[in-house]
Amino acid sequence: MIQRLPVEEEYNKPACNLRKPVRDRQTGPRRVKNPGEPHGFDEGGGRLGASGVNPVFANITEIRHYNVGGNQSFGIYDLKLGDGNNAVSVELKSYTRTFVEEGIPGPNGALPFVQNPQIINQLRNYLTISSTANLTNLRYSFDARKLVKGLDGQGTMQTNPFNTISEAENWIKIHFQETMQNQSNQVFESIWNNLPLRSNLWPDIDDIIVARSFFNTWTEDLGSILFSFIRVE
């Protein structure tokens, strides 16, 4: 029988004994004393590696869990990379292709990715918080092991995988594109009400109609800045 330790004690266990704490047991950030070194915690189904270090997530400074309260259907970031104005909030996603296409469980049953209110609300939350002063401050990281052929070892994690990372990433962006176009008013409003982000995206534009025109154009182009935060890695 494995003994469950208090969150703080488990967080500080040696890397060789890592176990993932229960999400609802942790409500605040856990600072990493030495970014880039083993931090005694394994998040995202092993994506940080057995030692808690993965070069994909270099310079980890904070680790958090979802903190869902009331009727909120979104959570705070999973990882924070760096500090200050260059800090990046990382949202870890571990979805297979079939899972995105056929449905993500929600309060009203399984809904496709683009229709799920949890996805939309979470994205709006990230675009609203003051730490997202630039889209380079945000990173949605989709687990390549779930989406790309040959990256999961035995192949047990995948359903209908893609051949390359770029192919998978483009596919994810298409789903976000549909979400942003279906919920364009809400997404644009989240960005426009975030003054630092608004100033970064439209530094010389005060007219909301003109800014909205740029936003609509960006939603049509998967290579635009609007989709730059999406990665498969």
CA-nearest of 183, 39, 163 to 115 is 183
88-93/79-81 β-pairing: antiparallel
Q: Which residues contact residue 18 at a Cβ distance below 8 angstroms, ignoring those fewer than 6 apart?
A: 40, 41, 42, 50, 52
The pair of three-digit structure tokens given for residue 136, joined into one six-digit string: 């380079």
Residues 6+ away with beta carbon under 8 Å from 158? 96, 97, 145, 146, 147, 149, 152
If you write DSSP's letter for every residue of 89-148 in order, what string do you get?
Answer: EEEEE---HHHHHH-B--TTS-B-GGG-HHHHHHHHHHHHSTT-SSGGGEEEEE-HHHHB
The model carries a pTM of: 0.75
Q: Across the strands, what pairs with 63?
A: 30, 79
Phi, psi values for residue 31, rounded to 5°: -70, 140
Instruction: State the Cα–Cα distance between residues 58 and 64, nearest whole angstrom.
Output: 16
Phi and psi for 128 in degrees, rounded to 5?
Answer: -95, -35
| Candidate ranges 9-13, 39-43, 220-224; pick with highest mean pLDDT | 220-224
Closest CA to 135 of 57, 178, 187: 187
- The 10s digit of each residue's pLDDT in 180-220 is 999 999 999 999 999 999 999 999 999 999 999 999 999 99
Convert the pLDDT of each residue in 156-189 to its tens digit. Answer: 566 678 889 999 999 999 989 998 999 999 999 9
Beta bridge partners of 31: 62
Question: Between the CA of residue 207 and those of 47, 211, 214, what are the distances in Å?
Answer: 43, 6, 11
Query: What DSSP element (H or E) covers 80?
Result: strand 79-81
| Residue extents of the structural domains in the chain | 66-232
Taking a C-beta distance cutoff of 8 angstroms, is the pair 139, 90 a contact? yes
Top-confidence residue, 74 or 233: 233
69-126 residue pLDDT tens: 333 334 468 888 888 889 999 988 888 787 777 766 656 666 677 777 788 888 999 9
